[in-house]
Structure 1
Amino acid sequence: MLILGVTGNIGCGKSSLSNIFKKNDIEIIDADKISRQIFADKNLLQEVFVNFGEGIRNTDGSLDRKALGRIVFNNEDKLIELNNLTHPKIKNKILEKINKAKKNNEKIIVIDAALLIEGGYTKIIDKLLIITCDEDVQIKRIVDRDNCTREDAISRINSQMSQEEKIIYADYIINNSSTLEELNIKAKKFIMYMKENWCE
């Protein structure tokens, strides 16, 4: 089974790429979805409230992810603190899903994770695909999608490892500075390349 890592910085279109893979019957392990699910663990949730304050608790007791985001995107130490709390639990869930895929005889499994390199997942993947885009496009997408200011968008971009640093690790790069239609063409070309060159 081929384990493909897919990563890219905020606003580059990683989720759009994964959706194209899904439509082509490729199994996706979505780290962001898992990161939401782990907060069903009340002990973890309480630990996050203790570490980051009551300002991130909604009135119903759930996590205000936007409020937490404002804290960690503007403070590298707080971002590291959050990652130290959540990443071990996320990684365990991902490993469980990989083992299940192996038992189901899947030919390809994709790990979709924003912090794939930073989280040490390069040790468990076989190949790495990185999606990139021009910074101006990236900023506009974040502003439009999240209804935030340009300054907030830049702050989020700067909280991540740079695109230039990430592509050093890449086995394949897709530039997604154009339309969704263009991404679809590039993704299908990549799927063909992957099956011909990386799958047994």
Structure 2
Amino acid sequence: MHIIGLTGGYCAGKNEVAKILSAYGWEVVDVDKLGHAALSLSSLAIKHAFGSHVMNEDGSVDRTKLGQIVFSNAQQMQILESLVHPAMLSLLDREIQRAREQKKEKFCINAALLYRFPQLSLCEAVIEVQAPLFLRVSRAKKRDNLSATRALKRIFSQRELWKLRPRKGAKVFILLNSGKKEQLENKTKKLIEKLSQDLQR
């Protein structure tokens, strides 16, 4: 089974690329969704760490309230990750194992934090989606109803990630997303064709 990674900063457009990869036969696992599941599994620990005000009445975690805390405070983010990431990475390992057992040929790990995950070592290549800052802020306003200030906080909170971009092992392909859907589809299609050729060698 060939495994590739897909990553990119907040509102860069990696999920649009994920949709295109899926259309070309790649099984894409969205680690953000696994994170939501891990959040539920860790809800009691999160309540103890951050207080009952980040919880909904039904006992689930209010992701909006929690996000307001952790995206503006690196120390709080580290606490959250220490609670959630072990469960999330375990769920990812299960997905990889399931795909192997089902003899999937093409598997993609879609994760904003990919460069920090041990599963990066399994990737034969990585697609990193980038986009101009003003477009990312604009998307954050439209998609998540965030102010420019809050959007920039989220974007800048990820700056340390890109220093972890691997220099050895998996080759990293930068995919620039200018905001035009047709251009992104064409660029992704060409990159998929190149990846397919490289992986068959």
Task: Tell me the equivalent position of 1:64.
Answer: 62
Task: Tell me the equivalent position of 1:129.
Answer: 127
The yes-or-no answer on 1:8 pairing with 2:8 is yes
Distance 1:192 1:124 in 2: 20
Amino acid at match of 2:44: Q
**C-alpha deviation, 1:161, in angstroms:** 2.7
Question: Which piece of structure 1 moves more, 107-116 or 96-105?
Answer: 96-105
Task: Tell me the equivalent position of 2:182.
Answer: 181
Unaligned runs of 5+ residues in structure 2 are none
Specify whether residues 99 and 35 from structure 1 end up closer, same or farther in structure 2 by C-alpha distance, changes over 3 A only: same
Amino acid at match of 1:91: L
**C-alpha deviation, 1:144, in angstroms:** 1.5
Q: What number of residue pairs does the alignment pair up?
A: 198
| TM-score using structure 2 length | 0.92
The answer to whether the 8 A contact 2:37-2:88 is kept is no
The answer to whether the 8 A contact 2:8-2:112 is kept is yes
Amino acid at match of 1:11: C
Q: What is the identity percentage for the equivalent residue pairs of Structure 1 and Structure 2?
A: 28
**Moved segments of 4+, more than 3 Å:** 162-170
Distance 1:49 1:18 in 2: 33
SS in 1 for 2:114: coil
SS in 2 for 1:171: strand
Residue from 72, 97, 100 that aligns with 1:99: 97
Amino acid at match of 1:5: G
Amino acid at match of 1:196: Q
Amino acid at match of 1:48: I
Task: Tell me the equivalent position of 1:77.
Answer: 75
**C-alpha deviation, 1:118, in angstroms:** 2.2
Q: Deviations over 1:133-184 (max 9, x none)?
A: 1111111111121111100000101111358536565521100123111111
The answer to whether the 8 A contact 1:167-1:173 is kept is no
**C-alpha deviation, 1:122, in angstroms:** 2.1
Distance 2:113 2:188 in 1: 21
Unaligned runs of 5+ residues in structure 1 are none
Distance 1:86 1:164 in 2: 22
SS in 2 for 1:131: strand
